[in-house]
């Protein structure tokens, strides 16, 4: 066993000590303490990891409400880190739990936040996918999709992205997908 006290209050080793304790205790509170310290130091990816583990512990204990809150904090930190892949994994797990809990607007909000991040980072495929997930939930709860243009806008940008790079097959696929989206979700072009 390591004697973390030899490093005194060095922030990095303090966090390592907290992480070791969290791994052993495997409680939401222990992971949260680690995550809060990492977020305060600007280590957003590790903060996301800590909050994600807090959420998992809560989810496994059947506390969906607290898990949803921790997934939100994990996503916030992944977004601060501008880590689209990490944010995607967290957001989709977060949205899944919100959907299971019947928290429809929260679920839609998570997908839309993921779409906005992907859009901001220039990944129009992931943005379109996230917005389509939001559209799916909206359709399930009976919300009108008539004015919901976000998925189509991102598929159009995805097509343009690939066309500019000389990948006509990928551009055509995106354009074909716009038509399929409109058929599947019952939306019409303006």
Domain ranges, ordered by start, for the chain: 8-101, 103-190
CA distances from 152 to 118, 120, 132, 140 (A): 15, 16, 9, 19
Q: Does the domain spanning 8-101 belong to CATH 1.25.40?
A: yes
Give the integer Cα–Cα distance in Å for 50 and 188: 43
pLDDT reported for residue 4: 56
| Half-sphere CA count of 172, side-chain side, radius 13 A | 4
The structure's pTM equals 0.91
pLDDT reported for residue 190: 56
Confidence of residue 66 (pLDDT cuts 50, 70, 90): very high
CB of 81 closer than 8 Å to CB of 35: no
Confidence of residue 187 (pLDDT cuts 50, 70, 90): confident
Per-residue pLDDT reduced to its tens digit, 118-127: 999 999 999 9
Residues contacting residue 102 through CB under 8 Å, at least 6 positions apart: none
pLDDT reported for residue 6: 65
Give the integer Cα–Cα distance in Å for 49 and 42: 13
Mean per-residue pLDDT, 86-106: 97
């Amino acid at each position: 066993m390591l004697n973390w006290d030899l490093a005194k209050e060095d922030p990095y080793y303090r966090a390592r000590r907290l992480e070791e304790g969290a791994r052993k205790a495997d409680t939401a509170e222990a992971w949260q303490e680690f995550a809060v310290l990492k977020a305060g130091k600007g280590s957003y990816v590790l903060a996301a990891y800590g909050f994600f583990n807090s959420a998992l512990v809560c989810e496994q204990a059947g506390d969906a409400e607290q898990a949803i809150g921790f997934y939100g904090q994990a996503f916030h930190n992944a977004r601060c880190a501008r880590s689209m892949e990490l944010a995607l994994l967290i957001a989709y797990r977060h949205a899944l739990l919100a959907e299971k809990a019947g928290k429809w607007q929260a679920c839609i909000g998570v997908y839309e936040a993921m779409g906005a991040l992907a859009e901001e980072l220039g990944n129009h495929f992931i943005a379109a996918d996230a917005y389509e997930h939001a559209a799916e939930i909206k359709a399930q709860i009976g919300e009108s999709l008539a004015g919901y243009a976000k998925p189509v806008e991102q598929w159009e940008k995805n097509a343009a992205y690939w066309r500019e790079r000389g990948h006509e097959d990928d551009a055509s696929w995106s354009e074909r997908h716009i038509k399929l989206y409109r058929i599947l979700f019952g939306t019409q072009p303006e």
